[in-house]
Structure 1
Amino acid sequence: MSSDRIYPAQRPESMDAFWMPFTANRQYKQRPRLLASAEGMYYVDVDGRQVLDGTAGLWCCNAGHGRREIAEAVSTQIQQMDFAPTFQMGHPLPFTLAERLVEIAPAGLNRVFFTNSGSESVDTALKIALAYHRARGDSSRTRLIGRELGYHGVGFGGISVGGMANNRKAFSAQLPGVDHLPHTLDLGRNAFTRGLPQHGAELADSLERMIQLHGAENIAAVIVEPLSGSAGVILPPLGYLQRLREITRAHGILLIFDEVITGYGRVGEPFAAQRWGVTPDIITTAKGLTNGAIPMGAVFVSDAIHDAFMHGPDNLIEFFHGYTYSGHPVAAAAALATLDIYQRDGLLTRAQDLEQYWEDALHSLGDHPNVIDIRNTGLVGAVHLASRDGAPGTRGYDVFEECFWQGAMVRCTGDIIAMSPPLIAEKEHIDQLIEILGRVINKAN
């Protein structure tokens, strides 16, 4: 076999063997949407049609597609060394990458544990939280609290603290001792709000009731997404995150922010914690860390949590956890090249520059048929459509699919259309995306 084999980006002869993730497989394979290449703001499908990327791939290609710097870094590294273990061994890149990451992280989050995905980052954070309390002698702190409509990946830890019904109901072996805060979606009071909603900060006080019910001495951590992306861009009400921080700090409970979606510039700062002025104890990330080029995640941990493990004989493993590919050299090379792009091009804060234009464009769809809410912050937004009688989710899916054939890729969660274009977007790309979406919504019955 030739060593320079290139696999063609063309229609496969058969689509039977691949069981696709989070996909209605039978429906999809009747009219497949197959992407063949990507550059800048656009995909090209196998038929040569150009498709504007309105979702940064899957919330991950923040610097756009086809970045040669990342490809070259990956190519150089994989030729130099394809893999090296980080169990009782090491190589330079994850150490260098971790130092670079803490430079952009909220103050005090100076330790980084590498994973390979958002799901692994969440499970890692939950294990750190439980082990931290045990290391401090608070072994009764085993209860975890998530939130309704939260998405924290697909590991058993993540689906246990997550609050999206379809991700949970088929899997009975979830973690015991998990409770959920109420979600913050309030169409009655906050529909068509521009930016963060005014109403709902008091929902954080539900945590106080859970503390009264379970006892603070039994609660290890609270995990929330600052912005719930997969549930359809559900935003935190003004003051809500601050209130969660106050309550958790007062009761010795760890606060975990799942920033797999919001991390690396999506809301106009490197992390949502910085944009909204709330520093948690742990932050989970992935996706934008490598611009989607190579799977990788990173968990940011406070010095206090890390240091609680660093006791006892120094020849003992402090935390019995990790993955074969934690700190993978090729992924680390991709991440370092990605950080160079973010910082050189000012992408970690560019969403704030585009925010007003993006907001105005989105809200221009407010008078379109069946639009019942529009939500936005940074460079992320959602158009919430009314459900068809007896067929929830079908209108959203039809809009999503037709947008693709009209030349724009968006996401749908039920009847919510979510968008998160790459941070390199220009105003003309926003105009194109909103024009296509508006035209498709107008025709959807």
Structure 2
Amino acid sequence: MSTAPRNTALWHPFADMFEVRQSQFCVTRADGVWVHDQEGRRYLDGTAGLWYANVGHGRTEIVEAAAAQMRTLDAYFVFNDFTNPAAEALADRLAQLAPMPDAKIFLTTGGGEAIDTAAKLARQYWAQRGQPQRTHILSRGNAYHGTNGMGTSIGGIEVNQAGFGQLVPDTSRVAFDDADSLREAIERLGADRVAAFFAEPVMGAGGLHPPRPGYLEAVAKICAEHDVLFVADSVICGFGRVGTWFGVERWGLQPDMITFAKGVTSGYLPLGGVVTSARVAEPFWEHPGRVFRHGATYSGHPTVAAAALANLDILEREKLLQRADELERPLHETLVQFADHPAVGEVRGGTGLLGAVELAPEVLDADPGAVGRAQRAIREHGVIVRPLAKALAVSPPLIITESEIGMIGEAMRAGLDAVAAG
């Protein structure tokens, strides 16, 4: 393991800084599916960063597009009537790719801001429709919707809410895999109080759970029957991760809103946003004086928009959405081979280019730090995977080859063997 030569002043997210402050894993460069540490050793990036490097690292087309834009118009805002060509071009392109007709695009600087935007917009939509009491937002147990105020409040990972005091009110969770629990919650609360239901197509940080057959279609129907806005959180699932532009098309869904980030720029620059249906946009776009008083300083940032456009070009030109479809089965088969491993409790995946290996309950009971230990052991064998609460997640760049997927399997086996050996 590479160790940085200094006691860091950098406070790492989701980190035990007592442990991390003098023992960081320092990444110095990246290319393709590989990242390199400061000692010159390379590692297969089995997580595409934090689920985002869909086109891989070191794509000069994106770098050059951003540099060219900075030479012309580096940065400017899009508040009020201000705009810029790059932001307009990106919004038009995303609207054309969206599964909802006449979609509108609200740009942010990341997924957390996108979630807060969608949640506030859902509540404001009902206020504009003369139903201001519709403020309650439903989401799912195990859900992860970022760490901003609203995202923390509607998240379903309890440890991520602990210690922060009272969060945003009028939110509650339903079972993550049972559509009937959504119907029961809406009927219990009263549909006239519920603004929206948020759901990830494939649940990511909460353990990587693909939806049960028919689940997403069922919750979309329930929302429609009760006139509750359906918001798909596609921050992880978008831009090829599950084989389509926004993830939801795989199930034939047309949500009222879609949140996106990560793969829209493949992480080269921070960008997120919300795709809104014509229905949600209508009160604000078709009537004067109705202002959605919300926005980020860097919304519509021209340099970031230029990077996103170049990234979308790569995804289209190299047919990487289709590539994700082709590699879905090889990745799942690579992980499924560990289902009978003594350190493994469950393997999940088979929906998109992502999967997870959950450790056995007895392993976790004996060593609560087993997931981190396994992740480090796998890294020592040249592959980076993502440690979740109980599982090891894999979500490589869409440019990965089948032989490189095999390397993930070899390193995973070595790490699991190390955990099983104690």
Same fold (TM over 0.5): yes
User: 1:132 aligned to 109, 125, 131, which one?
Assistant: 125
Residue in structure 2 matched with residue 382 of structure 1 by the alignment: 356
**In the aligned structure 2, how far is the partner of 1:389 from the partner of 1:411?**
17
Task: For 1:217-296, list aligned pairs within 5 A.
Answer: 217-296=192-271
DSSP-derived class of the 1:425 partner: coil
**In the aligned structure 1, how far is the partner of 2:129 from the partner of 2:23?**
56
Give a deviation string over 1:289-326, Cα, whole Å, max 9, x none.
1110000002100011101223443xx36211111100
Are 2:97 and 1:104 equivalent residues in the alignment?
Answer: yes
Give a deviation string over 1:172-225, Cα, whole Å, max 9, x none.
2311111111123xxxxxxxxxxxxxxxxxx11112211221110000000011
Conservation of the 8 A alpha-carbon contact between 2:7 and 2:22:
no
**In the aligned structure 1, how far is the partner of 2:332 from the partner of 2:279?**
39
DSSP-derived class of the 1:353 partner: helix
Give a deviation string over 1:372-414, Cα, whole Å, max 9, x none.
1111121100001114364564111101111112210001112
Report how far residue 98 of structure 1 moved: 0.9
Give a deviation string over 1:57-91, Cα, whole Å, max 9, x none.
11000000000000001111112221111112111
Give a deviation string over 1:143-199, Cα, whole Å, max 9, x none.
110111100001110011111111111112311111111123xxxxxxxxxxxxxxx
Q: Which amino acid aligns with 2:118?
A: A
**In the aligned structure 2, how far is the partner of 1:280 from the partner of 1:55?**
27
Report how far residue 103 of structure 1 moved: 2.2
Residue in structure 1 matched with residue 321 of structure 2 by the alignment: 348
* 363-372 or 217-226, which deviates more: 363-372
Task: For 1:325-336, list aligned pairs within 5 A.
Answer: 325-336=298-309
Conservation of the 8 A alpha-carbon contact between 1:392 and 1:415:
no
**In the aligned structure 1, how far is the partner of 2:164 from the partner of 2:367?**
23
Task: For 1:40-79, list aligned pairs within 5 A.
Answer: 40-79=32-71
Task: For 1:32-431, list aligned pairs within 5 A.
Answer: 32-88=24-80, 89-108=82-101, 110-184=103-177, 203-313=178-288, 316=289, 318-376=291-349, 377-387=351-361, 388=363, 390=365, 393-431=368-406
* 138-147 or 105-114, which deviates more: 105-114
**CA RMSD after TM alignment:** 1.5
Conservation of the 8 A alpha-carbon contact between 2:284 and 2:290:
no
DSSP-derived class of the 2:320 partner: coil
Q: Which amino acid aligns with 1:79?
A: R
Q: Which amino acid aligns with 2:398?
A: L
Task: For 1:422-441, list aligned pairs within 5 A.
Answer: 422-441=397-416
**In the aligned structure 1, how far is the partner of 2:315 from the partner of 2:48?**
14
- State the percentage of identical aligned residues: 38
Conservation of the 8 A alpha-carbon contact between 2:42 and 2:382:
yes
**In the aligned structure 1, how far is the partner of 2:332 from the partner of 2:270?**
31
Report how far residue 27 of structure 1 moved: 1.8
Give a deviation string over 1:212-251, Cα, whole Å, max 9, x none.
2111000000001111110121111101111101111011
Residue in structure 2 matched with residue 194 of structure 1 by the alignment: none
Conservation of the 8 A alpha-carbon contact between 1:111 and 1:303:
yes
**In the aligned structure 2, how far is the partner of 1:438 from the partner of 1:390?**
21
Conservation of the 8 A alpha-carbon contact between 1:144 and 1:219:
yes
Report how far residue 100 of structure 1 moved: 0.9
What TM-score results when the alignment is normalised by the length of structure 1? 0.91
Are 2:11 and 1:19 equivalent residues in the alignment?
Answer: yes
**In the aligned structure 2, how far is the partner of 1:348 from the partner of 1:263?**
10
**In the aligned structure 2, how far is the partner of 1:39 from the partner of 1:110?**
35
* 285-294 or 108-117, which deviates more: 108-117
**In the aligned structure 2, how far is the partner of 1:336 from the partner of 1:75?**
13
**In the aligned structure 2, how far is the partner of 1:258 from the partner of 1:247?**
17
Conservation of the 8 A alpha-carbon contact between 1:287 and 1:297:
yes
Give the gaps of 5 or more residues in structure 1: 1-9, 185-202
**In the aligned structure 1, how far is the partner of 2:7 from the partner of 2:220?**
48
Residue in structure 2 matched with residue 31 of structure 1 by the alignment: 23
**In the aligned structure 1, how far is the partner of 2:102 from the partner of 2:210?**
24
**In the aligned structure 2, how far is the partner of 1:171 from the partner of 1:127?**
20
